[in-house]
Structure formats: C-alpha cells, structure tokens
Amino acid sequence: MARTEVLETADQAVAGIADGSTVLVGGFGLAGMPFDLIDALIRQGAQDLTIVSNNAGNGEVGLAALLKAGRVAKVICSFPRQSDSYVFDELYRSGRIELELVPQGNLAERMRAAGAGIGAFFSPVAVGTPLAEGKETREIDGREFVLEHPIRGDVALISADRADRLGNLVYRRTARNFGPVMATAAATTIAQVDQIVDPGDLDPEAVVTPSIFVDRLVRVPARRYTVQGAR
C-alpha cells in the first residue's frame, strides 16, 4: 500500500497535474477551500481543466482566481451564481466556460458513488426539469427517478484542519463539507492542512478521512478571509 507523501510546499503537491484533468475542489463558498493548493495550481499552469465544486468561485480568490487565470474549460457545480461570482458570470455569459448544473445532493452522491464503486444510481431529484433531459428514467414504487452516474476526479484538492504524518485527516466544523467524498472519488487526493502531528496524536474516533485516501499532504499557514468569516 502506497504511503501518503508529506511535501514541503503546495507547489510540490500539485506538480504533475495534467492539462484537461478533472479536478474536485473542496469548499462551501470559502469555507474549507484549499486556497494554497489552488494558487499553486495557477502557478503550475495546467489548462483546460474541468472543475467540480459546490460553487463557481467568490470574488477573485481561490477558485475564482483559477477561473480568472483562464485555466478552466468547464465547471460542474450546484451554485454557480452568488453576489460575488462575477468572474464566473463574465466567463459564462461570454461563452468562454461551460457549465453543468448538478443539484447539491446529487453532486455529493455522485462523488460518493465514485468512491464506493457504484456504477450509477436512481434519484428523484430533477425529475421533470431540464436537468433530466437525455437521461434514463424509471418508475420505482410508483415514483419516477432519474439515472445519475458517478463523478470521478483525476485529482482532488481539499483542505483539512489537522493531519498526522500517515495522512489521516481531521476537519474543522463546516470546513469539512465535500472533502471526505472528494477524497474517495479521485485518483490522486492532495490535502492542505493547518497542522501536521505525529502518528498517535489524533483521536482515532475523530479521523474522518483515513490515510488510504490521501496521496499528498502539505502543511500551510491558515489564512482567514473577511467574507462570512470563512477560512
């Protein structure tokens, strides 16, 4: 079994991400967003990326900065428009980026299905809406369902509060959000954390993402943002 690689810098952590990759990016708005990994990905230069995230960026930091740099070809998300999503709005309205809208529950479940090895699943969400067009439907117990397929990532970029040197992750409150399912759904999972401790220092009952799902780990200083007090 491969061990989690503990790296010195975020730039080392994102090395090798290829053009055209599907990248799962943790975060609920700014809460739990892996800012340093995203900044390093901008410096790294990968292009034509498909980004899977809950939102399509806030202001001009984090995911929005990646979009502004012109590195993203497609966004798969639940909430592309917010009061400060003007970077995405401009790109989308000018036809420079593609959008696949996925209801939030389906987004989480499609990634969870990828991690669990589930080929597809039926969901009642989106029945009778444009989001169901072109998809297989089936009636089950008198109710109509839509067939949804897993979302798999080439890479997942996530943020956690603490990790041990083996790669076990503990999250901070709502910053946990999509991190656990994304870690299981990607071929390579890269985590940035505020603190790395020795094996045995984490309460095993508090570990949410086991090290088997974490390929690369880097410690970065915590950065705080004024928007809704997120970090």
Tell me how many degrees the CA angle 115-116-120 measures, rounded to the nearest 5.
Answer: 100
- The CATH number, out of the four listed (3.40.50.300, 3.20.20.70, 3.40.50.720, 3.40.1080.10), of the domain defined by the range 3-218: 3.40.1080.10
pLDDT digits (tens, 9 = 90+) for 117-139: 999 999 999 999 999 999 999 99
pLDDT digits (tens, 9 = 90+) for 53-105: 999 999 999 999 999 999 999 999 999 988 889 999 999 999 999 999 999 99
pLDDT at residue number 21? 98
pLDDT digits (tens, 9 = 90+) for 145-180: 999 999 999 999 999 999 999 999 999 999 999 999
Q: Which two tokens stand for residue 40?
A: 């390093």
pLDDT at residue number 110? 98
The CA-atom distances, in angstroms, between 93 and each of 47, 97, 178 are 20, 8, 27
pLDDT at residue number 229? 38
Q: Which two tokens stand for residue 221?
A: 């200083």
Q: Which two tokens stand for residue 169?
A: 């992750």
| Spatial CB neighbours of 25, under 8 Å, sequence gap ≥ 6 | 33, 34, 38, 51, 52, 53, 63, 156, 157, 182
- Determine the 3-state secondary structure of 176 from DSSP: helix
Cβ atoms within 10 Å, residue 187: 12
pLDDT at residue number 81? 87
The CA-atom distances, in angstroms, between 65 and each of 72, 138, 144, 228 are 10, 41, 40, 18
pLDDT at residue number 221? 78
